[in-house]
Amino acid sequence: MTRIERIECGPRMSMGVVHNGIVYLAGQVGQAGDDVAQQTRTALAEVDRLLAEAGTDRTRMLTAQIWLADMADFAEMNAVWDAWVPQGHCPARATGESRLATPDYRVEVIVTAAL
């Protein structure tokens, strides 16, 4: 049986799960009420922190899903993303529009990465 490691396991969810050399992160959001650029920066900083806790980093990302509350924020989010993602290490990515947990959230980032 393969080992499953849970990162910051709470009563409802874990912030990450490591299995078979892959880390699956929960959706990361910024501070409710901040603009989309700041929320994106905060969410990506949390991705960095959780990947480091799992023993990997953003150069090992496999996939990213980005949910925006409003696709009108796409360019602003992308400007932050483009400055953060390592050149030559871009994951497969999908971006869509969705109602998020509260109206104050503008962006949510979900990442999987190899160890």
Q: What is the pLDDT of residues 66-83, one digit of tens each?
A: 999 999 999 999 999 999
Q: How far is 71 from 77, CA to CA, in rounded Å?
A: 10
Q: How far is 52 from 64, CA to CA, in rounded Å?
A: 17
Do the domain assignments include residue 59?
A: yes
Do the domain assignments include residue 11?
A: no
- Degrees (nearest 5) of the Cα angle 31, 23, 20? 165
Work out the end-to-end distance of the chain between its first and last CA atoms, rounded to an integer number of angstroms: 19
Band of the pLDDT at 63, cuts 50, 70, 90?
A: very high
* Biggest CA-to-CA distance, the chain: 46
What share of the chain has pLDDT > 90, as a percent? 99
Domain containing 38: what range?
A: 27-114
Do the domain assignments include residue 47?
A: yes
User: 43 pLDDT exceeds 90?
Assistant: yes
Q: How many domains does the chain have?
A: 1
pLDDT at residue 1, as a whole number: 87
